[in-house]
Structure 1
Amino acid sequence: MIAPREGGRILVEQLMLHGADLAFSVPGESFLSVLDAFYEHREKFKLVTCRHEAGASNMAEAYGKLTGKPGICLVTRMPGAAQAAIGVHTAFQDSTPMILFIGDVGSDFRHREAFQEVDFAAMFAPAAKWAARIDSVERIPEYIARAWNVATSGRRGPVVLALPEDMLSQSATVADARPVKAPEAHPGTGDMNRLREMLAAARRPLAIVGGSGWSRQACEDFAKFAHANKLPVGADFRYQDLFDNRDPNYVGDVGIGINPVLANRVRMADLLLVVGARLGEMTTSGYTLLSSPVPKQKLVHVYPDAAELGRVYQPELAIVSDAGPFALAASAMAPLDSSAWASETSGARADYEAWIAKKEMPGRLQMWSVVEHLDKVMPEDTIYTNGAGNFSVWLHRFHRYTGFRTQLAPTSGAMGYGVPAAIGAKIAEPKRAVVCFSGDGDFLMTGQELATAVQYDAAVIILVINNGMYGTIRMHQEKHYPGRVVGTDLVNPHFAAFARAFGAVGEIVEETAQFAPALERAIASGKPAVIELRIDPQAITPNATLDGLRAAAAKKT
């Protein structure tokens, strides 16, 4: 016989049934019943208390990326929802499974503009796969099962559920749902036969992998297919960990700051095999690498959601399939004669090696050497996270991602992502090393989550690349309005002292030789650590200086 349960307990137990074991929250009185259920199940379902809702939602998003399971986040009413929205938007643009729960006003207060009341379904409709409000305690199992299924199937993404305070405190006698097993789309035999025909006729094929829904096995299967057919493989923007960057078939990332030689190879390819990537603005260099609506390249687009196929680019062959089933089918394909393009693959690899070669920058601290040292001393499975800004180029361009789920970064371009992503990843995978790259502006958007890292013994290493400005915007200022600098200068705190105030380790590095011992001390401490890297402000990108940009722009006026 089923015993009556409070709504909060039903909700938590449904999440556990579907496989949840970690959630991130800033607590609110609107969901006290849920908090009490977490107390009841505290040995099996860990609740991480964060210092800001943006931190909590970014941790949940990073957890979704890392595990493939929905990242769970709980906040309360309009202030909490508004601040968590950035993580939801990142989950939407990055196609990451996530469920945001929002404590809401009681049902009897609705539509009176009660305290912090908002229509959350309407608010999140453009930025979530599904947004709804659970008004009946008896239907909690139904809503949670649907949310889990929606978040993890097709194009993955976020779900938002509002929880009326009175509904959560009501009791009901309801049965549990069944554990959700999300459906997967598989390629048809005809699809694979047509792909084989198109590959056989190609002379300059190029594969691009990206998006969510991958697994380690899927990555291995796709690598097997690429090796058997000597295919060059590029990685979608901030999905560089889907193909080992040390592999001779890997030819670089197709995103912001793309190698111009690789960009030309994309344009000149006679066959593009795109698996899992949406082909959005960042991947296509502002929709310029392919023509819309009909690309000049023959496009084979593999994606789990039919609505995305042909949305911008009409493919020659559209395959509705998840990455895993497609990669498995491709790996089983008999190898083709690759003699027509084998030299193209080796040439593209040589271009990549030249692109990541040592690059000097102004100043005493060389970021290429920092990245090189990390690659030498950090474990192979280290997770690297970052937020948004020019500082991330040093990581994306020069670090060699070693394989599946060693990169957590926002394709949405949201600042403030790296620090909470690193903390969430370290809590989820405590045995793995986690390194975060942050800019000085980027870091202070969520830097208070150092308190969360200390509280939960999440020994992340955070590199704060400090150039005293919002560097990306300054770069564009100098390109378009040379010398007219306003709104981008920053006066920063002493970041090492900031870290020590939280009980973390703080280090200052002002020249290259200081980095290795500072990193060694940070690792040896066993604590969260911030290493401030004070770089020359002139070093705005690996290829440009501020003075150079200003001079080039001045010549055009």
Structure 2
Amino acid sequence: MGATVAQTAVRILTEARVRRVYAVVGESFLELLDALQREREITLVSARHDAGAAFMAEAEGKLTERPAVLLASRGPSAASLAIGVQTAYQDETPMVVLLETPATEPVWSSSGELPTSDLTAMFESIAKSTLRVTDPDGLPGLLAHALTTSQEGRPGPVVLGVPCDIWGMPYDAAKPMARVRPPASGTLGRSADAVAQLVDEAKYPVVIVGGRARSARDELIAVADELALPVYNAFRRQDAFPENHARYAGHLGLGIPARQLDALERADLVLALGTQLDEVTTQAYRYPTAQQTLVMVGTGIDVSPKRRGLTFRVDSEVEPFLRELREVASPRTRRASAANAAVHTFMTPPDTSGNTRVHPVDVVRALRKLAPEDTIVTSDAGNFAQFMHRYWCFTAPRSQLGPSNAAMGYAVPAAVAAKLAEPRRTVVAMVGDAGTLMTGQEIETAVRYRAPVMVVVFQNGVHGALAMHQARTYGRLTGVSIPLTDFASWARGLGAAGYTVDDREELEPIIASALVRQRPCVIDVRTDPDVVTPDVRLSALLGQARPQPPAQ
């Protein structure tokens, strides 16, 4: 008997080095699930919710720069996982989504309902590409095309609509086998000579590096040293350039100290490597200014003709461009500026001994002291993350996973995927209480797949970012309180270890114990609700007594 479409698809995934397929399993792809079960090189990761599965696939793609595969069955599944697809699209993450579409012949499902309508169009605005399979012979070629498309140019998610009755159909073995071709690397549309001349002529050149410069780390460090270039990391891309380097100029994130922008403020040349220069990175599109020369480097970079200061773009992968730039540029001997030195001062955790409650800085300080240097840190959206962004020093490559689109609920599923992809590295998820309540059930997935992640919950009983904006704008709070949750007991109920921290003195012993035990765990830290950012106190904005923690 010949191979089925499902078996052929699994063979293509294997040859493309796909190692995990994420899903909440459904009856739409029973034959595919069975084919995956028989393939030793691919693991099917069965998540507890489609949003969790989508964040897992996105995190693996971001970490490995190779697409993970996500399965979507029917309307509810597709709608639930859309948040992860949109995250992949904004963060330029390779991903392939296999989405159920109506059968080639209308049939009734076992539940007595007709299959869902074609939802492929729903993803057109949040995916790099959407494709549709119409017959069994077409799936292998389109799947191979989707895998390649997700990686080349500007990476992103590709959604492939597949009729639910195709998987079990035979595939004509006489047809040529579809192959996944290597993604195109782009060409040097402008000679590095031109950029070298701009660098030579500039008085204050700076570099901004994004996620797609991660693979060029060694060349980037060499260029920064040889050409005396201050280097900024784009929003939540703090592992692109080591933060302990003398040329490190800072992280272009939220709520950063004003002086951290000094080098960017006075720059006459901005070299953007592997970044689209999003809203946060540009500080609400304040930079680059019209007076600054801007050069953007990267394949598939989207350049608006209205972008201020743009001189030209180089359509090339970052690493070969930097290699050529090193060959033609003249070395510079400018010393690291005082602004660079100030950045390292900003990153030093302040003294919090006067705080009666656990300060968020205490958590980051303890983790930074005890966790290995190459720890992978995943984080959620929320004000609590500012403490990690400012006080965690990212020195190892591929060590930060965070969504630039402010998606909540990312950290826990991302940590699970990171541990499955990098089992020898420590993985820590930093997440607020609200984000934990959204996708924290994926701790059970970590338990089931023996992925010993550490989930650190900053539980302050409030949506900190929203509370800050409400207090600043209206002087009162609405809908931002979160009742106290016993996350430690909840974790134990899911099969993980659970700890509760009410005192800063408990932090280091508990973290040290959790690191040694090597099992999935949740550390529930009851942090001070008044401390909403490194620089802002909620009580100061409200002009009243300090907020009280939620009632137990």
Q: Is the 8 A contact 1:222 1:330 kept in 2?
A: no
Alignment of 1:92-491 (within 5 A): 92-109=89-106, 115=114, 117-173=116-172, 174-188=175-189, 191-212=191-212, 214-215=214-215, 218-291=216-289, 295-308=290-303, 310=305, 312-339=307-334, 342=335, 345-360=336-351, 362-483=355-476, 485-491=477-483
Of 516, 521, 541, the match for 1:549: 541
8 Å contact 2:300–2:315 — kept in the other structure?
yes
Deviation at 1:520, TM superposition (A): 1.6
TM superposition shift of 1:310:
4.1
Which piece of structure 1 moves more, 143-152 or 177-186? Answer: 177-186
Residue by residue over 1:259-313, the C-alpha shift from the partner in whole angstroms, topping out at 9 and shown as x without a partner, is 311224323211111111111211111112334xxx2211111121154364634
How far residue 325 of structure 1 moved from its aligned partner, in angstroms, is 1.8
SS in 2 for 1:166: coil
**Unmatched runs of 5 consecutive residues or more in structure 1:** 553-557
- One-letter amino acid of the structure 2 residue matched with residue 303 of structure 1: G
Supply the AA of the counterpart residue of 1:296.
Q
Letter in structure 1 aligned against 2:343: Y
Residues 318-374 of structure 1 show CA distances to partners (whole Å, capped at 9, x for unaligned) of 2111222222223334443344xx3xx331221202212333564432332332232
Deviations 1:502-551 (A, max 9, x none): 11111111121110111122122221010011111101111010011223
> How far is the alpha carbon of 1:211 from its aligned partner?
3.0
Structure 1: how far apart are the matches of 2:498 and 2:140?
A: 46
Q: Tell me: CA distance 1:363–1:82, structure 2 relative to 1, closer, same or farther (3 Å).
A: farther
Give the aligned partner of residue 16 of structure 1: 14
**Distance in 2 separating the partners of 1:548 and 1:73:** 45
Q: How far apart are the structure 1 equivalents of 2:503 and 2:326?
A: 47
Say whether 1:87 aligns with 2:88. Answer: no
Q: Is the contact made by 1:466 and 1:532 (CA closer than 8 Å) also made in structure 2?
A: yes
SS at structure 2 position matched to 1:308:
coil
Asked whether the 8 Å contact 2:298–2:317 carries over to 1, the reply is yes
Cα distance in 2, alignment partners of residues 435 and 307 from structure 1: 33
Alignment partner, residue 57 of structure 1: 54
Shift of the alpha carbon at 1:119? 2.7
Q: For residues 78-134 of structure 1, give each alpha carbon's deviation from its aligned partner in whole angstroms, at most 9, with x where no partner exists.
A: 111111100000000000000111223312239xx9745233221000000111221
> Within 1, Cα distance between the matches of 2:509 and 2:301?
52
- Which among 511, 522, 527 is matched to residue 514 of structure 2? 522
More helix by percentage: 1
TM superposition shift of 1:245 = 0.7
Q: How many residues align?
A: 536
CA distance in structure 1 between the partners assigned to 2:176 and 2:284 by the alignment:
50
Q: Which residue of 1 aligns with 2:547?
A: none
Task: Please give the root-mean-square deviation of Cα atoms over the aligned residues, in Å.
Answer: 1.9
| Residues 71, 99 of structure 2: 8 Å contact kept | yes
Contact 2:148/2:180 (8 A) holds in 1? no
Distance 1:476 1:202 in 2: 40
Over 3 Å counting, the alpha-carbon distance change for 1:202 and 1:139 in structure 2 is: same
1:4 aligns with 2:6: no
User: How many Å separate the matches in 2 of 1:326 and 1:7?
Assistant: 41
Is residue 30–residue 104 contact of structure 1 (8 Å, CA) maintained in 2? no
Following the alignment from structure 2 to structure 1, what is the Cα–Cα distance between the partners of residues 61 and 305?
Answer: 27
Normalised TM-score (structure 2): 0.93
- Please give the TM-score of this superposition, normalised by the length of structure 1: 0.93
Separation in 1 of the partners of 2:506 and 2:46? Answer: 35
